[in-house]
Amino acid sequence: MIESFQSQLLNYGIISGLYFTILFPLVLSPIIISPYLESFFNPIAIKLFIYIHYCCIYYALMQSLSLIYQASRYYLHLTIWMPNIELKYWYINTIPIKIFIITANSIIKFIILSLSFGITYGVSPVTGLISTVLVLYSLWQHTKTSLMDTEICIKIHNYVCNFFNKKVERIN
């Protein structure tokens, strides 16, 4: 139980580190506006697409840094600072696993959203608008189902933690 939770924290840290390495060059890259965009949108709409694109990228970048920090902090607490198994089981019960699930899902959602707005101002306005509408619709559908998935993951986590806590209490 403890090893699987440690590996889960390690996986969250690695995945968010990969997100960070993908997003960091995108933040530093210059804005190249498609020549078709100026004939399709007015300048205010163009700025709006660029602002939404960069806000989504910065939000995903900051969330990935936050997830790296949280996963590494909890991992170090479990591996280094907890001296016995009882404290490790207690600490696992206090870790808010819901934060990891929601943060990892929001990073993916904002990366996809920034991609669709980036397509709008960088590649083609029509393709970007179609992809933005499809992405917004799919994110709306996914949000309705992901809340249920998150609750199921939390119930499974709580059940396993309670099972092992009872087992440790019986041993003592």
Query: Cα(36)–Cα(39) distance, rounded to whole angstroms?
Result: 6
Torsion 156-159-162-167 (CA) sign:
negative
Amino acid identity for residue 44 in this structure: I
Specify whether the CB–CB gap between 124 and 34 falls below 8 A: yes
Higher per-residue pLDDT: 124 or 110: 110
Condensed to tens digits (0 to 9), the pLDDT of residues 43-88 reads 888 888 888 888 888 998 999 998 889 888 888 878 887 777 777 7
Mean predicted confidence (pLDDT) in 36-42 = 78
The pLDDT assigned to 168 comes to 46
The pLDDT assigned to 18 comes to 86
Q: Is 62 exposed, middle or buried (0-12, 13-18, 19+ CB in 10 A)?
A: middle
Domain ranges of the chain: 2-171
Condensed to tens digits (0 to 9), the pLDDT of residues 113-161 reads 888 877 777 777 777 777 777 777 777 776 666 555 556 656 665 665 5
